[in-house]
Amino acid sequence: MPGASAEATGGGATAARERLYVDNAASQALRPEAQEAMERAAGLLNPAGQYKTGRDARRSLEDAREQIAELLGADGAEVIFTGSGTEADNIAIQGLAFGSKAHRGAHVIASSDIEHPAVVESVDWLTAGPLGLGFDRVVLPVDATGRVRAEDWIAGLEGSAGEPSDLALLTCMWANNETGAIQPVEALASFARDNGVPFHTDAVQAVGHVPVDFHALGATTLAASAHKFGGPKNTGLLLARRDAEILSPVRGGGQERKLRSGTVNVQGAVGCAAALASSIKELEQATAKMRMARERLRAAAQGIDGVRIWTPEVGALPGHLHMSFPGAEGDSLIMLLDAAGVDASTGSACSAGVNRASHVLTAMGVPVDVARGALRITLGADITDDQVEYLASILPRVVEQARAAGMA
């Protein structure tokens, strides 16, 4: 029994579960602080209303905005509430690219192949989509450990005179959702700032899990998502500098600095602020606990023949453990874990229910047959020692059975 004594494993969750949930990078359980804050805000109405209930809703919304700004090293005016992390990425990438084209005539977008589909698809739409939007792409190289080779790329670019002025946008995720590898966002932000190029970072996996300071980083925009740190789903954040030239693809009533039109979800904003405050308050303790649990699981996995571990030992999110077991199919691994009461994933987005080799692993140079045997375990801070031992003990058998089932 994975969770005989288990409370839900998602960062301070409330509901008791009989399952061991180790897919926190996909979505975390709602934190009690977020749930309580949202219950208190349940009666709030239209925050744009010019009357008493409107002012009440607006006050709660602005309090949430200020709290989030303070927690993430931004100004209140820089916090834009969106409908998801995906929407924040879309607004930033399309909006900055269009803004650069309109203001500077720049047309090149620099991004790596390890980004989340929210970024990959946005960049593809601009550079290779059916409408011919007139953008070109340069690829940021990635090394075998899953890190963007920022210094090499910058050195190469600086050698070829004049290119930075063609850059409409440079984008790089803060931490990878599959491997957990932290990316060199400081170097890229600093290069972008020195060359007057907008820099967007998809920090959806980082916010609430590692310290994030928007002003210290110096990015133009940053995307985050509440359900990744124990807030409500469909509540995203876009941090956007006031001088960012963003021609937002979301058109409408002009809410949220005209960047994200649409009536703002006050309950979501309030829940997001409460979850962020709670996750940052517990950050140090949670990090230490998850690291210890992760390393125990890493050691158990290392005892299995042929394992390849993708999560770096240094410079990774604390709860991630991403690995491949060649000869096993990722789908078989997660089905066998599921039958043993464990919720885990392969880590890669599946399209129409079909798991393909992860685009992140293939970008790292991993052969397709190895990439297909991927398993991602992402821990919550309230995982117990018994649960860690349970998972460590069943893993060898799960891999053996998945290998016996063969490749599809």
Helix (H) or strand (E) holding 223: strand 221-225
Q: Beta strands 199-202 and 221-225: pairing type?
A: parallel
Does residue 137 contact residue 123 with C-beta atoms inside 8 Å?
yes
Q: How far is the CB of 327 from ligand PLP (least distance, A)?
A: 28
What residues contact residue 228 under an 8 Å CB cut-off, 6+ apart? 25, 27, 28, 85, 204, 205, 207, 208, 209
* Rounded CA separation 318/368 (Å): 27
Q: How far is the CB of 118 from ligand PLP (least distance, A)?
A: 4
Q: How far is the CB of 344 from ligand PLP (least distance, A)?
A: 15
Q: Side chain identity at 279, as an amino acid letter?
A: S
Give the pair of three-digit tokens for residue 107. 């047309």
Q: Which of 213, 204, 182, 210 is nearest to 280 (CA)?
A: 210
**Choice between 363 and 394, CB closer to ligand PLP:** 363
Which positions from 317 through 376 interact with ligand PLP, judged by CB under 6 A? Answer: none
**Choice between 69 and 317, CB closer to ligand PLP:** 317
Does residue 260 contact residue 252 with C-beta atoms inside 8 Å?
no
* Rounded CA separation 187/183 (Å): 9
Catalytic site residue 172?
no
Does residue 32 contact residue 10 with C-beta atoms inside 8 Å?
no
* Rounded CA separation 10/14 (Å): 9
Among 28, 67, 84, 201, binds ligand PLP (CB under 6 A): 84
Q: Beta strands 167-171 and 199-202: pairing type?
A: parallel
User: Does 118 interact with ligand PLP (rule: CB under 6 A)?
Assistant: yes
User: Does 236 interact with ligand PLP (rule: CB under 6 A)?
Assistant: yes
**Choice between 324 and 345, CB closer to ligand PLP:** 345
Provide the CB-side half-sphere exposure for 49 (13 A, CA): 13
Stretch that binds ligand PLP, among 58-66, 84-92, 144-152, 320-328 (CB under 6 A): 84-92
Determine the angle formed by the axes of helices 85-104 and 117-128, rounding to 10 degrees: 30
Site string for ligand PLP, 40-79 (x = CB under 6 A): ----------------------------------------
User: Does 85 interact with ligand PLP (rule: CB under 6 A)?
Assistant: yes
Residue number with the smallest Cβ distance to ligand PLP:
85
**Choice between 227 and 372, CB closer to ligand PLP:** 227
Does residue 403 contact residue 328 with C-beta atoms inside 8 Å?
yes
**Choice between 181 and 328, CB closer to ligand PLP:** 181
Q: How far is the CB of 236 from ligand PLP (least distance, A)?
A: 5
User: 105, exposed or middle or buried, with CB in 10 Å at 0-12, 13-18, 19+?
Assistant: exposed
User: Does 181 interact with ligand PLP (rule: CB under 6 A)?
Assistant: no
List the beta bridge partners of residue 316.
181
Q: How far is the CB of 22 from ligand PLP (least distance, A)?
A: 15
Q: How far is the CB of 356 from ligand PLP (least distance, A)?
A: 16
The residue count for binding ligand PLP (CB under 6 A) is 13
Among 28, 67, 86, 311, binds ligand PLP (CB under 6 A): 86
Stretch that binds ligand PLP, among 45-53, 80-88, 149-157, 324-332 (CB under 6 A): 80-88
Widest distance between CA atoms in the chain: 67
Site string for ligand PLP, 187-226 (x = CB under 6 A): ---------------x-xx-------------------x-
Q: How far is the CB of 229 from ligand PLP (least distance, A)?
A: 11
* Rounded CA separation 207/4 (Å): 31
Does residue 158 contact residue 190 with C-beta atoms inside 8 Å?
no
Helix (H) or strand (E) holding 21: strand 20-21
**Choice between 3 and 85, CB closer to ligand PLP:** 85
Among 9, 111, 122, 177, binds ligand PLP (CB under 6 A): 177
Q: What is the DSSP letter of 48?
A: T
Helix (H) or strand (E) holding 63: helix 52-71
Q: How far is the CB of 119 from ligand PLP (least distance, A)?
A: 7
Q: Which of 299, 350, 368, 407 is catalytic?
A: 350
- Enumerate the active-site residues: 350
Residue numbers at the binding site for ligand PLP (CB under 6 A): 84-86, 89, 116, 118, 173, 177, 202, 204-205, 225, 236
